């Protein structure tokens, strides 16, 4: 079964992809301190986790996802978080 995307490649999409590729090249060539690189990687990981779990129906806020990565307590909003058994 072939995948049939529900979008069309528009000039706007292609321009955005070009901008992303250009920005990525600049970042890859930049001389970042190890500390800054680690902070940027962590921030990207948290945002990526938040976005992908939100698509799956998770209602945690970005701050709550960040708290999970930091092992801080999360204030429960009238819900119980069940751990898989």
Residue 27's pLDDT is what? Answer: 84
Q: Which residue has the tokens 């955005």?
A: 16
3-class secondary structure, 37? helix
Q: Is residue 84 part of a domain?
A: yes
Q: How confident is the model at residue 30 (pLDDT cuts 50, 70, 90)?
A: confident
Q: Is residue 18 part of a domain?
A: no
pLDDT tens track for 39-83: 988 999 999 999 998 888 888 899 888 888 877 655 554 455 555
Q: Is residue 12 part of a domain?
A: no
Q: Is residue 4 part of a domain?
A: no
Q: Is residue 64 part of a domain?
A: yes
Residue 82's pLDDT is what? Answer: 58
Number of structural domains the chain divides into: 1
Look at the alpha carbons of 48, 50, 51, 53 in this order and tell me if their dihedral is positive or negative: positive
Closest CA to 59 of 67, 68, 50, 71: 50
Helix 34-55 to helix 62-70 angle (10° resolution) is 120
- Note down the domain range covering 80: 33-85
Q: Is residue 7 part of a domain?
A: no
């Amino acid at each position: 079964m072939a995948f049939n995307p529900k979008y069309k490649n528009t000039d706007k999409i292609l321009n955005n992809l070009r901008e992303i590729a250009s920005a990525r090249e600049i970042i890859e060539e930049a001389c970042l301190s190890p500390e800054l690189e680690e902070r940027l990687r962590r921030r990207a990981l948290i945002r990526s986790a938040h976005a992908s779990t939100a698509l799956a129906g998770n209602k945690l806020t970005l701050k709550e996802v960040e708290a999970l990565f930091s092992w801080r307590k999360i204030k429960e909003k009238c819900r119980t978080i069940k751990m898989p058994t």
